[in-house]
Structure 1
Amino acid sequence: MGEFIDIFIGRQPIFNRNMEVVAYELLFRGNTQDNHAMIIGGDAASAQVMMNVFGEMGLDEVLGNHKGYINFTEGLLLREYQPFFPKKTVVIEVLEDVAVTPQLIDSLSRLKEQGFTIALDDYIFNPELLPLERFADIVKVEIQAVGPKQLIEHSQRLKAKDIKLLAEKVETREQFEFCAKLGFDYFQGYFFARPKIIQGRRLPNNKMTMLELLANVYNPDIDMHQLSDIIGKDVSLSQKLLKFVAESSGVGVQISSIHDAVLRFGLNRLKSWASMLVLSGVDDKPVELFTTALTRAKFCELVGGRLGRYSKDSYFTVGLFSCLDAVMDTELSVLLDKLGLDNAIHDALLEQTGDLGLVLKVVKGLEQGQTDFVLPDNMSASELSALYLEAMRFAEAIDLG
Structure 2
Amino acid sequence: MDILLARQPIVDRIGAVDAFELLYRSVKQMNVFDGDLATMDVLTNTLVHMGVEHVAEGKKLFVNFTADLLKSDLIHYLDPKRFVIEILETVDIDTEMLSVLHSWKEAGFTLALDDFVTDLLRQHGTELFALIDLIKIDIEAIPTREQSAILHIVRRNYPHIKMLAERVETHEDHTRCLDMGYDWFQGYFYAKPMLMKGKAVPPQLPVLLKMLKWLDTDEKYDEVIDEIEANPYISIQVLQLINSPGMGLRNTVSSVRQAISLLGFSQLKSWISLIVLREMKLASPYEWSNELL
1:22 and 2:15 equivalent?
no
1:62 alignment partner in structure 2: 55
1:52 alignment partner in structure 2: 45
Alignment of 1:334-353 (within 5 A): none
Change (3 A) 1:266 1:90: farther
1:86 alignment partner in structure 2: 79
2:7 alignment partner in structure 1: 11
CA distance in 1, matches of 2:194, 2:184: 19
Shift in Å at residue 153 of structure 1?
A: 1.7
Change (3 A) 1:214 1:137: farther
1:155 alignment partner in structure 2: 151
The residue type equivalent to 1:284 in the other structure is A
| 8 A Cα contact 1:26 1:49, kept in partner | yes
| 8 A Cα contact 1:28 1:49, kept in partner | yes
Change (3 A) 1:26 1:39: farther
2:235 alignment partner in structure 1: 238
1:198 alignment partner in structure 2: 196
1:98 alignment partner in structure 2: 91
CA distance in 1, matches of 2:289, 2:31: 23
Q: Secondary structure of the residue that 1:135 maps to in structure 2?
A: coil
| 8 A Cα contact 2:214 2:220, kept in partner | no
Shift in Å at residue 278 of structure 1?
A: 1.9
2:176 alignment partner in structure 1: 178
Larger radius of gyration: 1
Alignment of 1:136-285 (within 5 A): 136-160=132-156, 161=158, 162-217=160-215, 219=216, 227-248=224-245, 249=247, 253-267=251-265, 269-282=267-280, 283-285=282-284
Which residue of 32, 35, 42 maps to 1:42? Answer: 35
Shift in Å at residue 267 of structure 1?
A: 4.9
The residue type equivalent to 2:274 in the other structure is M
Gaps of 5+ in 2: none
1:391 alignment partner in structure 2: none
| 8 A Cα contact 1:81 1:268, kept in partner | no
Shift in Å at residue 271 of structure 1?
A: 4.3
Gaps of 5+ in 1: 293-399
More off after superposition, 105-114 vs 43-52 = 105-114
Q: Secondary structure of the residue that 2:115 maps to in structure 1?
A: strand
The number of aligned residues is: 285
CA distance in 2, matches of 1:233, 1:264: 19
**TM-score, length of structure 2 as denominator length:** 0.86
Identity %: 32
Structure with larger RCO (C-alpha < 8 A, sep 6+):
2
Which residue of 98, 109, 112 maps to 1:116? Answer: 109
Shift in Å at residue 86 of structure 1?
A: 1.4
